[in-house]
Structure formats: structure tokens, C-alpha cells
Structure 1
């Protein structure tokens, strides 16, 4: 690694310094100037907006190919690659109307293309939609995306599911950094929140080509908020109240930017009491709280952009398990018994260097995670857990010289993970070391202007070593795998787009699956050191139609998984009578489809409907665990730009229908269907010359009594959350 870094720093002598400027005018098809159009260069973290004459200007740009994004509500997003060869260039843009939806730029895929230009299926969710969802956690908010669901033990302990796969079959990224939070169990959530992000990108399907092992089912990437506009210091205060959990959520952020330097800081707090179901009965120990702090600094020069981030999260999550029921006899807020005490520090640096026609991304990160399980005073000390997981990761990607029709990228990635048990003798997993290294290459080529193809190949090597313990033999295993992907998008005409992609992916068995031999939560789990790597082969097909006021999207997928790793109960029991669960492997398949329609027949009315269908089973037709119910969602939204002193007013009503899950896995039971009705209202108002955004969201408006199939409280006969009214306040402000 040191050799690569040295080569990159020697390259500083080759940088070309410049004072390039681009400017121009942005109009609509009637040649009318557009005001407040966002002009942004993602790689440079640099942007501006047009004035009343539609004029924009960006200075201090490198002599290197860069992508400029033009976005404006009600118009098609435009992305153009420019290669500046002189000090001052004039580039004008004409935008076409697109009332139904803006096409967003995706940064989780290698070439930062528009959604419509990616062969890989990617969905986006903006931070404003997350805040207005009325959800107490980030993971619950993204389940509004078709094909995304969650495994939950109440409102605080949640795990994402993408097209039927979860745990270490999917990755969650914090601004491109793989999160490592002991995610091998449904009771171990990712340590991340929604504060300080701009939007979320969800890759559906295998993504090992981009991210290596564990990206079999897909990737969730939380993208950081953009820096403040140049020459300004701005901030925002956000607050929420949840009626059901008596929950308070608050966060405050401030950020500033000068010509070359930018910075930001944000802190947040969440605190929720035990939730109540539709019978108004509280569910014991589903309380949780979390503190967080986010800071960043950045430097932008013509030869490169350099970013340093620090994220701190400290959640305490109540665990609703059998032993805690006699101890928690009334609704409360503070976790006292049987709770996870988690700490996460993430230091990351994301940098881009411009070397004439080359761009080099150099990213490094260090994570320090601690997981404690606090039980209760009546339990002996050995039932407590205290583990440290430290991860160093690095990535170097080189964007080779490109043309209007072709783009190429090569890179390396690597990581070292160390798990260490501290004084608490209960070792869920042993002391272990995991080393990763990979090399990959990707290419995109455009034929006939309408057919865009993407292809790539990747090689990964992983070494896993563990320490021997009294009830666990030492593990010393090496794994290596190739991953490939090939796909295309075809723009048949202005309205129809076809997308297809074939991808292979893999996942090595994790340390828990290889080594566990003891009680984990409420069951006895036994690992299998003979497990092989899991292989996935998925094909995706989709067709997309849009006109000025209508969008239709239909996608289907079929994922064949060889040596699928899962845990299941056996007929064996321990001496104390606990049933033994063992990890095993089998060939399996998961297939399904998603349908989305978005219609805006009038400027003030938006209609949205989506349906997700999924089947997961072994090749012997036995069903796979944690396969969600098929779900239909609808949303009707009324908007008005101005009503008296109110601006950006909206009212919405929506619902979710989950069909009966009558094909459970061998250790699951059937789950009845249910219907939830939701509604919301919001607006912006001026108060003492200050703009204030307020909204109220009511989830489960009819106070339905129900249990979701992926609720791990189902076995304890606890229902999901009842009616919850969420009031949200946002106050943006300018300091300079």
C-alpha cells in the first residue's frame, strides 16, 4: 500500500495548475432564462446557481475531464463531460421539461451517470423524503423503496433487506465506506443515522464487482450533504416528536465555504420510549437512544479535492427478549436491562487528484467499533459481551482517458479487520483477523448514441484467521473469487428505455458462521468451519417509459445462489434443553419483480403506485428465511406553490397493503395480510423574516393491529407499532 501512495504523491510534480473558468446561460426550450438552476461538479464539491438572467459561472477548474450536472425541478437533469483546454469557455444549456420526475445522478456506480444511463438498477431517496416519512430510524425510512424491506426487533433494532437478502449479503456504505458493525445477526444493526446526508442510493442486486464480498444482494450508500455555497456560512436546526414512542429527535448543523476551503459540523440526539401497538399495549424494552457527531473539512484546488470526515455514533438499544419481560413492567425511556451499548468512530478521507486526462481517487478509512451487551444484575458476569472491531480500508481508482463514447476505470481495494474480545468472557465470536485485497477494471462504451454498455471483472482475495478457544478450534482459511458484470441500456426513443444486466457475486462465510458454538441471544448457535463461499448469478431486466406527465417502470430479476448459507433449527438440544441451530448450505434461488408508476396529470396532483413481488426458496422447494411479504404501496399528493402566506404546501395520503405470507421457512410461521393507511401535511412559512418548514405525518392512521413477517418479535406474540403522529420542524439559517 505504501508503494502505491508514494507513486501518487510523486505524481504531484506532473500536475498542471490552471485558472480555468466556464460560464454560460441556461434556458428552457422557449429560450427563456431559468433562475436558480443548480450547476454542480460532484468531484470538485463545487457548484453555483443561475441568476435572474439564467447566467452561471464557475472558476478555478482543472485541465482534466470533469462532469458538470445541471438540475432544476420540473426539467430533465443534464450531465455533460467537459475537458477544458483554455482559460475561459462558454457553455450554454437548454433544458427540456419533465414534470413527472427529475433524473438524478448516481455516484455509487463507477462512472457517476444518470439513473437512466446505468445498467445496474439504482434507486434514490432524498433527505427531505426521509425526514417527512415519519419513521423513527433511517432503515425504516428506506423501506418505502420497492424491493427494500427490514428485519426488526421493535423500532430501534432494524436490519435492511434488499430483494430477500440481508445480514452479510448486503452492504451499507457511509459515504462510500463499508460499515463494519458486527452485522452477521438480525439483532446487530448498522450504526448509522440520517443526520448530515443529502440522499441515499440503493443498488438492487449483486454488486461485488464494485464492492467485493458481501454485496450479493445489493448496496445501500448514504451520501454526505454538499458543502455550503462559496463565501457563505449556513446552518439548519431540525426537530421531531413521535407521539407513539414519546420520541424526541433533534439535530443542529453549521457549514461554511470559502474559495478553497470548506467545513461542517453537526450533532444529533434521538430518544424513544417503548412503543405501543394497536391495542395501546406497550412492548417491553423496545426503547432506544442515540447520540451522534459529524464533522468534515475539505480543500479544493485545481490539482485536486481533499476531504476529511469524522463520524461518531453512540446508540443504546433495548432488546425485547424473554428474560427482560419480568423486569420491565411499565413503559419507560432509559435502557437499563438487556440492551446493546454500541460505539462507532469512523475517520475517512476521500480525495480526487487531477493529472491532465487522468483522475485518481484515493480513499482511506479507519473504523473503531465497540459492542457491549448489558444484561441485568441477576445474570452472572459471563453472560455479558464486550467486543472491539477495528477496520482499516483503502481504495485507489484511476479513471483513464475517456472520450464521448467510452470511459475506463481500474483500481485496487483492501482492508484489514481485527476483532478482539475484552474482559467479558462471553465470546460470541473469537479473536480474529480478516485481510482483503482486490483488483478490478470496468469499462463503458456507447454504440450508435442509444446503446450504452458496461462491463467489468474483479479478483478478490480474503484471509480469515481466528484464535483457538476452549469450545472453538482455530480457523485459518483463504478464499479467492472472481466477479463479473455485463449490462446495457438501450434508449429506443425519447420515451422508452430498456435495461439489462448480468452479474456474478460472492460472499465468504463470516466468522460467526464458521466458529459460533454457544448461546447467542435466546438460542444456541453452532457454526460450521467447512462452509464454502456463496456464489450468486443474477440477471435483471427492466423497461422504463416516461412522457411529460407519466413514468412507468417494470423490472424483473432472477438470482441463482450456489451454496447459500443459512441457519436453521435441528433436532438436537443442549444439556439444558435449548434447541441447537446450525449453519448449513444449499443451492437456492430468489426471483421477483417490481412495478412503479408515477403520474402527474395536473401541476398540483401527483399519483404514485408501486408493487414488489418476491419468492425465495431452496432447490428442493423449501422456503428461505426472512423473505418479506409481497407489498403494494400507493401515495396521492396535492401540492400548491403558494397559499396566502404559505409556500410549498402539500397534503398527501397513502397506504401499504402486505399480502399474506403463506410460504414460511422451516422455522417460521405464516403471517396474515395487513393494510396501513398514512397521511401527511406540510408547508414552508415565514416567521420573523425566517423561513420555517413544518410537517405532520400520521403513520398507521387507523391504528391497525398487525405483525409483519420480518418482525423478530413475532415469536413473542408482540404486534408492530400502532398509530404514530410525527411532527417535524426545520429551520434553515444564514450566518454569513
Structure 2
């Protein structure tokens, strides 16, 4: 904290820096024609502009040092250029025409490079693209990424699964800080809205070197909405309507950038009724979510800082069995009422040829869970209040009932985390970063029931990593040491230490083929639930008993990624082998407490292996036609060759997509997708098998000029054949409850 305050004091001195600017022109590499409206963006400064009608651009008020500038435009291959300021003359950039989608800088890895220059394979998707394919929620959207699935409880609760690992083994980052919201439970969702999220990045494999404990299985990194370009302002509003749930999601936002200051805000509201299968509606899968995001940035010659805030409130029904059939949107008992506050501050001090990054975060999670027997009044009286003839009266009475409840379980989790990284001056071919990360977290119980005790967790880690660039080979390596201390009630005091490293090579075999090999270790300290839980876990139908003697999980993963790319076809093959020591898992012991089966936390060594294969074909000269296909598989076993739980089934996705533009429609597209999921009969001892199924979906969309502003419209249909199916990662499968049936989604966004 003292270091951060000293940085702020240096603001006064930073005006002494020279006035740096970058000017240039962007042209077509084949025709030499000037390119207008090319996006010019410096990611680490979060600063950008567009070329004018003559292809010229100017970026002012830049700090002294080296900057990576990104040039991107639809129909062209994205270019990155490293520039050192002060610059004495204008620059000239040529973009190559390409049917391949535009690339962006990878933010989740420390050196911020384009994927083609990155040693570590990172999947990257634009959130608008995922929504256009019919995703209803953020958790639903990420399942369109190869190697990524989601454990779900209806529509309102979902959390990422990366190559078979989930819960605390996958770390989620939002606004540049780690998200902490009691995520240990498989019935606990993300607590995040997809509105105000620019894109999603996924590190598939141990990322403990970069992020410490809980990144053993990978990282889901959510990039927030960008600020407006220099001296511009824009606003938009939009809605999406969902036929299956009779639900809607609506949002509005505004952003502006004036001189050294910039700000943005976005608010959204989402409501869904119970989702419908071919035969019935799944009772109490309804939910309501309110979300607000805001950001404020300041930059001068030698200093940049960005502050962001997000508050999200979700009231989510917990389905148990098929019962009441209605379109009411107010959840029945039991339900969760969760509020997440995320504060983040990301600052950079620019020095001569080096820089210091300081990221501070504070998250406040208030989790309330309500059950049938926690009324202020008599249950019989309240049961009568719910049943009225008219739907609006039912909804009114439901709200009154919820106001009369006390939370059976209430926990408040407060987390402060920091991340300090110093980028050393580049030494020859070496880029090096050293840093320290840490976290202070307190859990406090307020409800009548207590699942885990009051406790304080403290993390601290130090790391060093280098990127070495040669002409045809890039090498990245690093090491890290971590300590975690958990101190709580009843004499709880546990210490966990770990040393981890990573080594990777990227080799350009020729102009078309790139190979990546990465070796990395990771670790995860047991969480409070695994160590100390003793009670019925709401929504899981099990009584969990923790194990205070659990050891840390440690893993070592080998990744191989091959990629072939030319003007008309891209092919990738990714394979991995992941060995985990002391894998923690739940297992029933055959006993009952209060008529609820007892589950114990146990440990055993485990291994996971598999990979992803895909291709993207856009034939010449039909550049508007695209065919995409991907296959993914993962197998998880314990040391005794019994299978691990919650391992997703093999799946194959095939998409035919067309893109088109005309005088009246821009960014037009249409697609048809068939996703085939195979049966999963490689089960843990307490799982149920699931059959294979095929889901057909289609959609179209585009942008139009309406009153001189852009109106974007999307229309999609999912599960068009209304297939009855159960996903293996659905927590409703033990009850034989189907996943969502046919749904049509209609969305629009109007830019002001």
C-alpha cells in the first residue's frame, strides 16, 4: 500500500516528461490504398483511435518507453508493432487482406502479445460473438470454446470446467482481479453478468506461475468493456428476448474520453421464468439478475490508472423436482440471494524503458440461502398466501413471502488482493518480469446454520518470468514460491507452501506451421469447505464432512499444440497429459444424517489426458463462406483406475457460416451449427451415465443504419428439434430432469 501511495505522489513529477506522440498512415498491402477507420489501439495504456478517411492517425500524450500498438480492421490480418517513444518520424503500416477473424492482444499472460506470438496457447473469444450464437448466460457462452464446459444447475447457476477440472481448480479473473465468491460449491455460480464484458480468454492448464493457488486447472479471464477512443463519446442500449423462458435481458451504457480522463458505465436487468423441455417446465429454474458496472481512468505522460466497480445481485431458484408449472419469475423456496461487489484499481508507472504495474482488488460477497422452514410466520399461513388465481397476484404474494424470510445460511466473504509486477528494461532478446501477489480473506457467518467456520486466509507469492525471442523460436520460463495460511475457529491453523515453475517453447517450423510445447506445475491448497465443512449443503442433497488432514494438490502438465495456417485453412491439434498428486474429491460413505447421505472429502492421485482438434476452412475465392469443426475429449482417472466425477463427454461441433455486406446491411452473417455430444459411461462410483445427443442451432444477424446510427439485430434458435437430453455436467441429472428445450432468441443493440 505504501508503494502505491508513493506512485500517486509521482503524479506531480510526471508532467516533466516530454510530450510524446505517434503519427502514421495505414495502407492496404496489395493495393497500397489508404485504409480508413482502422482501429489503432495500445492495450497496456487502454488508449486508442481510428484512422481518418486518408488512412492517417495520431496518438498523443504518450509516456516515454516501448509500446505495442495493435492495428485491426475487418477483412485484414491484425498487425502489432513495437514502438519506442520519443519517435522522430511518422510510421507506415501495411495490412494484409485476410478472411481470418481479427486477433487481439492476449491480456491474461504477462507479456501481452498477439496469440501468434504467444508461447502459451490461450483461447480467446469475443463476448458479442458468443451471444450471437445463442448463449443465454456467460456460463452457457463459454461452452462454445473447445476444451471448456460448464457445471450447471438449471440456467441461473453455472461454472467453468476446463479439461475436466472445475470449482476451486479454475481461477476466474474479472476487471484484472481474482473473483472470490464462495466458489467452492458446485451449486455456486459465477455471480457475474455477461454485459460489460468485452471478451473471454481461457488458459487451459496450470497457471500457478502467473496466479498462484487455485489456478491448478486453468484460468477464465474476463476482459472488461474498453473505454472510448480519445476525445470521443458513445452510448448504446439493447435487449434480448428468449422464447423458452419468456425471459429478457436489457442493458444500457455510456462512455466518454476527454483529454486525460475517461469513464464508462453500464447497467443491466435480466429475468427468466422456469425453462421448458419438450414435456414440462423445470420448476424453480427461474432467476432475476441486476448488474451495474462503472469505470474511471486517468493518464498523463508518466502514469496511468483505471478504477472499475461492479455490483451484481442475483436471486436464483434452486430446482429440486418437477412441480408447479408457471411463468412466474420470482423464485420459490429454496433459493439463493447473492450480492457481489468488485472494486479494482489498475495503475502503471512508466519509467525509462521499464514500468511498474500495481493492481489492487477488493471483493465483497454476501451469500444468503433460504429454505422452507425459516419463515417469520407460520408455514401454513404463508402456503395459503401463495395460491391465487391471477398471475400478477401470485407474483405479488411471492415477493411478500420472501420479505418475511430469514436466511438459513448467510456468509460474508471479504477479500483484498494485490498484484505488483515490475517489467525490467529489455536486455537484448530478454523480456523479464518480477513480481509479488497476495490476498487477505475473511469469511464470517451470520445465518442460523453454519457450513464452514469463520476464518481468515492469507496468501503471498513471489515470481519471476522471462520471454526470450529468437528469429524462429520463442522461449518462456519462470518460477514462483507461494505460502497460504488459514486461521479460524476451534484452533484451525493450517500452512501450505509450494514451489512451481513453467517452461515453454514456440517454434515456427515454416511460414505455415507453428508448434508449441509447454511444461508447467501447479498447486491448490484445500479450501475451507474441504477442511472443515460439517453440515447439509443446500441444493446438493448431501451432508458434507471435511477432512482437516488434507494436503495440497500438486500437478504437472505437458501440453503440445500444433497449428497450420494459410489464406484458406486453419488446422489445430492440442494434446495434454495432467498428473495430479493428492487430488481431493467427495465420496459417499453409505451413512445417513437427518435422512441425507453423508459425503466425505478424500484424496488420491489422479491423471487427466485428452485434447482438442479443429479446423477452419474458408475456400478461395468464396471468402464469405466458412466451415468450422472442432472435437474435444478428456479422460480422468484415479490412481486405482476408477474414474473421476464431472468429466465432460466427448463432443464434436460443426458450423457452416456465411458473412455478407451490402449497401443496406453491414457485418451480416448467418450460421447453422450441429453439436454432437457422445454418451458418457466412464463414471465415478456415485454418478449416473448419460446418453449421447445432437443439438441443431442456427442464426443470422447484421447491422443497419437507422436515423444515422447503427442498429444491430441478432436472431438465433437453439435445440431446433426440441431434443430431450441430459448433459453429463447437469446437477439435475440424478433426478432425470432434462436440459432446456427449443428456444428462439431475438436481440438488438442501438448505438447512439
Instruction: Kindly provide the CA deviation profile for residues 86-114 of structure 1, in whole angstroms up to 9, marking residues without a partner as x.
Output: 5x431211222332233321011010011
In structure 1, the residue matched to 2:118 is 118
CA distance in 1, matches of 2:515, 2:330: 52
- Residues 207, 217 of structure 2: 8 Å contact kept: yes
In structure 2, the residue matched to 1:491 is 508
In structure 2, the residue matched to 1:354 is 350
CA RMSD of the aligned region, Å?
1.7
Instruction: Kindly provide the CA deviation profile for residues 518-570 of structure 1, in whole angstroms up to 9, marking residues without a partner as x.
Output: 11121111100000000010000011010011111110000000000111111
Alignment length, in residue pairs? 718
SS at 1:621 equivalent: coil
SS at 1:705 equivalent: coil
Which of 473, 485, 492 is the aligned partner of 1:451? 473
Q: How does 1:488-527 map to 2 (within 5 A)?
A: 488-521=505-538, 522-527=541-546
Distance 1:693 1:383, change over 3 A: closer
Within the alignment, does 1:659 sit opposite 2:667 as a pair? no
Instruction: Kindly provide the CA deviation profile for residues 452-493 of structure 1, in whole angstroms up to 9, marking residues without a partner as x.
Output: 00001111111101112xxxxx31011111111000111122
Q: Where does structure 2 lack aligned partners over 5 or more consecutive residues?
A: 377-404
In structure 2, the residue matched to 1:471 is none
In structure 1, the residue matched to 2:719 is 700
Post-superposition offset of 1:11: 5.6
Distance 1:254 1:83, change over 3 A: same
Post-superposition offset of 1:125: 1.1
Which of 421, 434, 442 is the aligned partner of 1:418? 442
Post-superposition offset of 1:329: 5.0
Which of 589, 604, 613 is the aligned partner of 1:586? 604
Q: How does 1:65-464 map to 2 (within 5 A)?
A: 65-86=66-87, 88-279=88-279, 281-321=280-320, 328-377=324-373, 384-403=408-427, 405-422=429-446, 424-447=447-470, 449-464=471-486
Post-superposition offset of 1:355: 1.1
- Residues 121, 205 of structure 1: 8 Å contact kept: no
CA distance in 2, matches of 1:89, 1:68: 16
Which of 608, 614, 617 is the aligned partner of 1:596? 614
SS at 1:477 equivalent: strand
CA distance in 2, matches of 1:453, 1:29: 30
CA distance in 2, matches of 1:494, 1:675: 38
Which of 553, 562, 565 is the aligned partner of 1:534? 553
Post-superposition offset of 1:212: 0.5
SS at 2:209 equivalent: helix
In structure 2, the residue matched to 1:679 is 698
Post-superposition offset of 1:332: 2.2
CA distance in 2, matches of 1:152, 1:721: 11
Within the alignment, does 1:605 sit opposite 2:633 as a pair? no
CA distance in 2, matches of 1:340, 1:677: 32
Output the TM-score relative to the length of structure 2.
Answer: 0.93
Within the alignment, does 1:637 sit opposite 2:657 as a pair? yes
- Residues 100, 599 of structure 1: 8 Å contact kept: no
CA distance in 2, matches of 1:534, 1:454: 24
- Residues 21, 89 of structure 1: 8 Å contact kept: no
SS at 1:307 equivalent: strand
- Residues 509, 531 of structure 1: 8 Å contact kept: yes
CA distance in 2, matches of 1:156, 1:45: 32
Higher mean alpha-carbon deviation, 342-351 vs 47-56, is at 47-56
Output the TM-score relative to the length of structure 1.
Answer: 0.95
Higher mean alpha-carbon deviation, 402-411 vs 221-230, is at 402-411
- Residues 157, 190 of structure 2: 8 Å contact kept: no
